[in-house]
Amino acid sequence: MVFVVKFSKEAIISIKSKMKNLILVVLFLFLAIPGFAVVGQLETVKGKVIDAKTKEAMQFVNVSVRKEGSTVPLTGAVTDNQGVFQLGKLEPGTYVLNISFIGYRTFEKNFTLDSPDQNINFRIIPLEEDSQMLGEVKVVGQRSQMKFEIDKKVFNVDENISSTGGTASDVLSNIPSVDVDNDGEVSLRGSTSVTVWINGKASGLSADNRAQILEQMPAESIERIEVITNPSAKYSPEGTSGIINIVLKENRKAGYYGSLQAGVDTRGGWNTSGNINYNSGKIDAYFNLGYRKRISDGGGISNRTNLDEAGNPVSYLNQTSDNNGHGGPVFLRAGGTYHLTTRDHLNLAAFGIFGNRKQKGLIDYESNIPGSFISSLRASNSENKMRGGNLELGYKHDFSKTSNLDITASWNPWNMDGSSIYSQSSLYEDEREVFSYQRQKSDVRSTSWELQADYVNSFSENNKLEAGYKGTFSHQNSPVKTYSGETEEEASPDEALFNRFYYDQDIQAAYVNYAGRFNKFGFQAGVRGEYSHTNTKSLGFGQEKGDVPAYKEDYFSLFPSVFLSYELPAGHELQVNYTRRISRPWGHQLNPFVNITDSTNISFGNPYLDPEFSNAYEINYIKNWENHTLSVSAYYRNTNDVIQRIRYLEGEVMKSTYENVSKSQSAGAEFVAKNNFSRILDLTTTVNLYYNKLDGFSYLPAGAEKAVTGKTNEDFSWNAKMIANFSLPASFSVQLTGSYDSKQLIAQGYRKANYRLDAGVRKAFWDRKLSVSVSGRDILDSRKWKTETSGDGFRQYAENWRTGRTVNFTLTYSFGNMKASRNRNQQQPRENNNMMNQMEDSF
């Protein structure tokens, strides 16, 4: 299948003008990096680098060779996606092999070449994590918080001090290129069309519920975050900007190991948790239990000006809101792996979230709209209960050290029940006061099944085949019942505000990937075929399922991917890739139910939305030094049938819905620098520069008198994020995280710039078994979302905020026997045998 991308002359000129400075910056960085002599093509030295602890292959590790007694490298390379390195021809002599990677101890090995034709094979070289002594002062090194892999960036967050005592949303907001807004919406590189996984699977998360789930998931349960900006055909193509994978902790140390944690914050919230892990060589098991109560408050303002046909102000509607909530969930997680044989492994894992949260809100209105109230006060009181989780059963068979079959089945039930009471009193010019009362109950029942089988076969160190199947079968039932009246006693069923929404989506996919390498050239090509079936049905009051025809949509799509890489001299790596992506509309966007939580701002969905399709192109450059890493990425994405929220006035009421408005183009560059200074300061800096263009559109919603129009809009935006980790004497650790987001384009307007600063400090005692952490989130109290929107007959300014400045105090105690002699004696022979097998299978 061939995809052809066409651009208008105007679009090309616009992109060129907006990206000129960006291209100059990229070229400058490329040219500024020093080069080394070109390496010969014949092999002399090769080997494979692995993590000494996990036994996993390590990619992009810097490898160099120098003459014995010299400090100047003669030649260098970086390891590929299998952890393998190859160096060119050397003259006879005595040399030193140097292998380095941030967060690991440098490995050095002397070797001698007796003849020009001699080859040296170091086979398996394990790198150990770095803990070092500087003079008389003990400084304990932290694990590197970021590393690059062939198709993703990995951020280790288990030692993230700034997020201690927080939630998964707090962790994500501190990840480079990732942002979380006031409503819990996650975005990647400025786009909210992103897929979020837990442990490599959807785990029941969808755009409808993930904000609530991430707000309930404790930060201390997360080990690392994987960011995949342009996933290959092996992965789901859902989410035009990529995939964020949240990997939960699952310790694999020998013996037993665990920790207890308790904390409080300055808003009156508190949390407590405990976990234990056990590994006997035959069984790996873990258990985690925690509770977290969160107290939050937020608010907002909205000023709307109504305009006449000439654009002159004629009236206004202003409102201020205030809300606060409290509550929290129990988080439970358990699982284990039983090693039936050395080649067969059975895995059972589960996690669950159970809890409730209460919320109170107050909206104060002022208006001079003729015939409307001059002031109004609307109070809300709601309670939301969440019960759900994930249960997974897996089986893995290792045909060899380089070939395996992995089969998993998972069940994901999520129930979110909510009840809300709204009472409103409005005062009119004639001093007439009108009262209204509403009680609304909404129960969301969501269930999904995932079946997945993945086969991997590495025929050699330079050739690998991947193939698999994945089926996702999801069902959602969301009834909403509303009672309305002037008072609670007079409230009766409101037929116009009854809704039961059924949403079924089945996606079946098969993929094949092939990866190979010739000398310094690597490639990976694959294709994924997906058949999607969607069935939605919206029932009104008194209607049965058979009374209403369903809206169905079935389609088959192909998603190719191509990845190319070339290993340049002296540790430089260049990658180019292309993928096709999709973003399907989700339940809330499709549900035509009218939401009247705010009677002056009414929203509803559109069941006739089409999915977005995107073509994504990316070029990556990576350079590793001994203590520094630089990654430069340039990307371009064009999207058809962009789904956007549109707003329009109907009478004096603002209405909003969703529509496939037009096409968009996005281009940008991402710079990631990882610097380790003097083994004390670890600095990660990310800068994103991106250009967005949204074509103009015209759309007439059902029942509207005038079409909603939007002019072609384009802008150049940028954001920056810096994470600084200090390892100080006396077992002190400090972390600072700062971010800045420039003005950003949205449909019918823009969002203003904002910034934030988080900080944390930790002190360890008793050989690091006990630690005390103090963390502050949004310590400048600056995290606010300000937007300007306009349309036919109105312009509006809105500002929203939540929680604000919060300080957490957390105490953690670690215990265990990580070096249990029984386990070590049992495991040592097997580990040695595995190492020998790896050496035989790898070369």
DSSP codes, 544-597: -GGGSPPEEEEEEEEEEEEEEEEEETTTEEEEEEEEEEEE---HHHH--PPEEE
Instruction: Locate the DSSP E strands across 732-805.
Output: 732-741, 744-746, 749-751, 754-765, 770-777, 784-791, 794-802
Beta-carbon contacts of residue 75 (< 8 Å; ≥ 6 apart)? 36, 37, 39, 64, 65, 87, 88, 90, 569, 570
Q: What is the pLDDT of residue 700?
A: 75
| Between residues 406 and 824, the one the model is more confident about | 406
> What's the pLDDT band for 59 if we cut at 50, 70, 90?
confident
Tell me the pairing of strands 628-650 and 344-367: unpaired
Higher pLDDT, residue 702 or 199: 199
pLDDT of 18 over the 80 cut? no
Evaluate if residue 5 carries a pLDDT over 60: no
Task: Report the chain's mean pLDDT, rounded to a whole number.
Answer: 81
Q: How confident is the model at residue 497 (pLDDT cuts 50, 70, 90)?
A: confident
User: pLDDT, tens digit, for every residue of 502-514?
Assistant: 999 999 999 999 9
- Quote the Cα angle for 99-103-108, to 5°: 20
**Higher-scoring residue by pLDDT: 789, 822:** 789
Higher-confidence position of 17 and 174: 174
**Phi, psi (rounded to 5 degrees) for 171:** -65, -45
Q: Comparing 1-15, 281-295, 312-326, 716-730, which segment has the lowest mean pLDDT?
A: 1-15
pLDDT at residue 822, rounded to an integer: 33
Residue 390 has pLDDT above 50, yes or no: yes
What pLDDT, on the 0 to 100 scale, is given for residue 595?
A: 72
Q: Give the C-alpha separation, 483 to 489, whole Å.
A: 10
Name which of 211-225, 366-380, 816-830 the model is least confident about.
Answer: 816-830
Report the SS3 class of residue 269. Answer: coil
Q: Note whether 92 and 68 are within 8 A (CB).
A: no
Which pLDDT value is given to residue 9? 41
Order of strands, edge to edge, in the sheet holding 62-67? 73-78, 62-67, 93-100, 107-113
In the predicted structure, residue 44 carries a pLDDT above the cut 60? yes
Q: Is the pLDDT of residue 383 over 80?
A: yes
Per residue in 737-757, pLDDT (tens digit) is: 999 988 887 767 888 888 999
State how far the Cα of 49 lies from the Cα of 124, in Å rounded to an integer: 6
Mean pLDDT of 317-330: 90
Q: Is the pLDDT of residue 408 over 90?
A: yes
Helix (H) or strand (E) holding 22: helix 9-32
Per-residue pLDDT at 303:
94
Q: Is a pLDDT exceeding 90 seen at residue 831?
A: no
Work out the end-to-end distance of the chain between its first and last CA atoms, rounded to an integer number of angstroms: 37
Query: To the nearest whole percent, how much of the chain has pLDDT over 90?
Result: 27
> Residue 79 has what DSSP assignment?
-
**Looking at residue 19, what is its pLDDT?**
40
Residue 221 token pair: 């349960």
Residue 519: pLDDT band (50, 70, 90) is: confident
Nearest-angstrom CA–CA distance, 533 and 535:
7
- Compute CA distances 347 → 283, 337, 405, 467, whole Å: 10, 4, 14, 21
Q: What is the pTM of this model?
A: 0.71
285 φ, ψ (degrees, to nearest 5): -140, 155
pLDDT at 20 over 50: no
Pick the more confident residue, 464 or 202: 464
**Chain segment 561-612, per-residue pLDDT in tens:** 999 988 877 667 788 999 999 998 887 788 887 776 666 778 888 888 899 9
Q: For residues 603 and 608, what is the distance between their CA atoms, to the nearest angstrom?
A: 16
Q: What percent of the chain has pLDDT over 70?
A: 86
Average pLDDT of the segment spanning 58-83: 79
Range among 202-216, 628-642, 746-760 with highest mean pLDDT value: 628-642
Q: Which pLDDT score, from 0 to 100, does residue 839 have? A: 28
Which 3-state string (H, E, C) describes 703-719?
Answer: CCCCCEEECCEEEEEEE
Question: How many angstroms separate the CA atoms of 367 and 388, rounded?
Answer: 43
Report pLDDT for 56: 81
Rounded CA-CA distance 506/497 in Å is 29
Is the C-alpha dihedral spanning 30, 31, 35, 37 positive or negative?
positive
- Does pLDDT of 94 surpass 80? yes
Q: Which residue has the higher pLDDT, 215 or 765?
A: 765
Model confidence at 316, pLDDT cuts 50, 70, 90, reads very high
Q: What is the mean pLDDT of residues 624-630?
A: 80
Structure confidence at residue 45 as a pLDDT band (50, 70, 90):
confident
Contacts of 703 by beta carbon, 8 Å cutoff, 6+ apart:
650
pLDDT at 836: 28
Dihedral sign for Cα atoms in the order 788, 790, 795, 800: negative
- The predicted-structure confidence for 759-772, as pLDDT tens digits, reads as follows 999 888 877 788 89
User: Looking at the predicted structure, is the pLDDT value of residue 154 above 80?
Assistant: yes
Question: Residue 540: pLDDT above 80?
Answer: yes
Domains of the chain: 33-130 (2.60.40.10), 147-203+243-549+563-829 (2.40.170.20)
The pLDDT of residue 317 is: 92
pLDDT at 671 over 80: yes
CA 510 to CA 469: how far, in whole Å?
A: 4
